Structure 1
Amino acid sequence: MDLKDIQNLIKFVSKSGASEVKLEMEDVKITIKTGSGKTETTIVQQAPMGIPQMPVSAPVASSPAESAKSEDDSSKDASSKYIEITSPIIGTFYRKPSPDKPVFIEVGDTVNEDTIVCIVEAMKLFNEIESEVSGKIVKVLVEDGTPVEFGQPLFLVDPS
């Protein structure tokens, strides 16, 4: 089971509303627990003979976007007409393809469903993130070079 499969499993469990899911295969045991706004994933891999198994626990802390959402309801009303472009993976957010190149998009640019808006680096792989919505970029929500969580809003798009 690779990292992408584990990430997809975590997404599925988070959306399903289940409080706990256990998956056991020949060489991997995964337990995902949700509740009180946090998701905890424990992955145990089969150890070589003679060495006891040690569970690795990775609690997922609430993202800055989640705490920002709870801060101000009046800003929600103003931005409710906008669509968010969110991060599909955990990684580092980059607005440019390389340091010496211009940014993919600026505030005020018009994007289509297949427009590349940024790159998220995860485990030394640079993943191009497409808009998936058509409209005009209203706001960039993340600073260049900062870490992002799965589902964290990156851009606000006005679809009109």
Structure 2
Amino acid sequence: MAQKDDDIQKIKEIIEIMEKNGLVEVEIKHGDDKIFLKRHVPQPPAPAVAMMHRPESLVSPLNTVIPESLPATATPSAAPKQENLEEIKSPIVGTLYAKPSPDSEPYVEIGTHVEPQMVLCIIEAMKVMNEIKAENSGTIAEVLVTNGQAVEYGQVIFRIKPD
């Protein structure tokens, strides 16, 4: 019986060593004797997956009534379209910066006259700052993005009225 008590004591010591060292499995061979211990370690809960919700699902729709007294030009779709505007599109996916630094003026604004190779904005992609330059001379007619906005490949970011 003393041998059995010694064996149980040794097994308890091995279990303590496993717990102290964070071991899950231990296999010990000594001559013809072999012992294999495996303990169950509770798994921490899986990290919550961040789910992107469409804004429509987060905000209840508002019942907005537009008074009939407003002119038709108040709606964006009724805004007059200027003909012969050259579109400047984003050549890459990234974050658009309209200013060289947070406390400086934007590179261009509506009404700014631009020349070929003039920097219009910077698009950061993979920690690389890419200057977006005008191809032709003209005047900025529309700025379709804001500073710090994410832009997609091919997204129109400026419209220029050529000279």
Normalized against structure 1, the TM-score is what? 0.51
Instruction: Name the structure 1 match of 2:67.
Output: none
Matched, 1:149 2:152: yes
Instruction: Name the structure 2 match of 1:133.
Output: 136
Matched, 1:86 2:89: yes
In structure 2, distance between residues paired with 1:112 and 1:89: 22
Instruction: Name the structure 1 match of 2:69.
Output: none
SS of 1:105's equivalent? coil
SS of 2:87's equivalent? strand
Instruction: Name the structure 1 match of 2:98.
Output: 95
Where do 5+ consecutive residues of structure 1 fail to align? 1-70
Normalized against structure 2, the TM-score is what? 0.50
Instruction: Name the structure 2 match of 1:12.
Output: none
Instruction: Name the structure 2 match of 1:107.
Output: 110
In structure 2, distance between residues paired with 1:157 and 1:84: 6
1:79, distance to aligned residue in structure 2 (A): 3.3
In structure 1, distance between residues paired with 2:117 and 2:131: 11
Q: Which portions of structure 1, spanning 4 or more consecutive aligned residues, are displaced by more than 4 angstroms? A: none
1:99, distance to aligned residue in structure 2 (A): 0.7
In structure 2, distance between residues paired with 1:79 and 1:91: 28
SS of 1:78's equivalent? coil
Instruction: Name the structure 1 match of 2:9.
Output: none
Equivalent residues in 2 for 1:2-151 (5 A)? 78-151=81-154
1:78, distance to aligned residue in structure 2 (A): 1.8
The structure with the largest strand share of the pair is 1
Where do 5+ consecutive residues of structure 2 fail to align? 1-75
In structure 2, distance between residues paired with 1:142 and 1:112: 20
In structure 1, distance between residues paired with 2:134 and 2:91: 11
Per-residue CA shift, 1:26-67, capped at 9, x if unaligned?
xxxxxxxxxxxxxxxxxxxxxxxxxxxxxxxxxxxxxxxxxx
1:133, distance to aligned residue in structure 2 (A): 1.8
Tell me the amino acid that sits aligned with residue 137 of structure 1: I
SS of 2:140's equivalent? strand
1:85, distance to aligned residue in structure 2 (A): 0.9
Tell me the amino acid that sits aligned with residue 121 of structure 1: E
Tell me the amino acid that sits aligned with residue 141 of structure 1: L
In structure 1, distance between residues paired with 2:155 and 2:135: 15
SS of 2:139's equivalent? strand
Count, aligned residues: 88
Per-residue CA shift, 1:84-140, capped at 9, x if unaligned?
111111101110111122111111111111100000000111111101121000110
Larger radius of gyration: 2
